[in-house]
C-alpha cells in the first residue's frame, strides 16, 4: 500500500482525512506491517505509579485513624498535613491536589466530621443543646417587633 501512494497523492489523501502527511505515512507503514487492527490510536500508558499498593493501603490506614495531636500536631487531617506525612513516611513528594486525587482513589470523601476539642465536656454540650431547643429561650423580641415590615403596601 505504501508504494501505491506517491508524494502528491499522499498530500491530497492527508488533506482529505484531516491529518498531516507524516501521520498518514506512519499509519500506512503500520497498516503494512501489522494489518488493519493496529490502525487505532496508540494510547500512552502514562507515568508508572509512584506508590505501591502496600503504600496505598498504609496511606488509607493513616487517613482512617485520627491524627495523634502531640505527635502530628493537628486535630484532624487536611491535605497539607497528609502531604507532609506521605513525604516523611514514604519519601514521595506530592502536591496538595494530588493528595486529594489519592484520597478520591481510595474512596475517601473531602467532607469530614467536625473535630472535638480534646478537653471538651459532654455535659456542657448537652446543656447547650437543651438551651437551644428550649421554646421559651428561643424567642427573640426584636424579631417579633419586625414581623410586619417585610411587605410594604402601595
Domain ranges of the chain: 7-39, 54-105
Q: What is the mean pLDDT of the chain?
A: 78
25 has a pLDDT exceeding 80: yes
Per-residue model confidence (pLDDT) at position 83: 93
> Quick check: 115 and 132 in contact, CB under 8 A?
no
Tell if the pTM clears 0.95, that is, is over it.
Answer: no
Transcribe 98-121 into DSSP letters. Answer: HHHHHHHHTT--S--PPPPPTT--
What's the CA gap between 101 and 109, in Å, rounded? 10
**pLDDT, greater one: 116 or 126:** 126
Per-residue pLDDT band at 95 (split at 50, 70, 90):
very high
CA dihedral 90, 56, 45, 97 (to 10 degrees): -80
- Closest by CA to 68, choosing from 45, 85, 92, is 85
Amino acid at each position: 500500500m505504501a508504494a501505491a501512494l506517491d508524494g502528491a497523492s499522499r498530500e491530497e489523501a492527508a488533506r482529505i482525512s484531516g491529518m498531516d502527511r507524516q501521520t498518514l505515512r506512519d499509519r500506512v507503514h503500520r497498516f503494512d506491517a501489522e494489518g488493519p487492527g493496529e490502525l487505532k490510536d496508540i494510547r500512552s500508558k502514562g507515568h508508572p505509579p509512584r506508590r505501591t499498593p502496600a503504600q496505598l493501603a498504609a496511606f488509607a490506614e493513616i487517613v482512617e485513624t485520627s491524627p495523634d495531636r502531640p505527635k502530628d500536631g493537628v486535630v484532624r487531617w487536611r491535605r497539607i498535613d497528609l502531604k507532609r506525612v506521605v513525604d516523611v513516611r514514604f519519601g514521595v513528594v506530592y502536591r496538595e491536589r494530588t493528595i486529594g486525587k489519592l484520597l478520591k482513589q481510595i474512596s475517601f470523601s473531602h467532607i469530614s466530621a467536625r473535630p472535638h476539642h480534646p478537653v471538651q465536656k459532654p455535659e456542657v454540650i448537652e446543656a447547650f443543646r437543651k438551651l437551644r431547643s428550649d421554646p421559651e429561650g428561643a424567642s427573640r423580641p426584636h424579631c417579633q417587633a419586625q414581623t410586619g415590615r417585610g411587605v410594604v403596601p402601595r
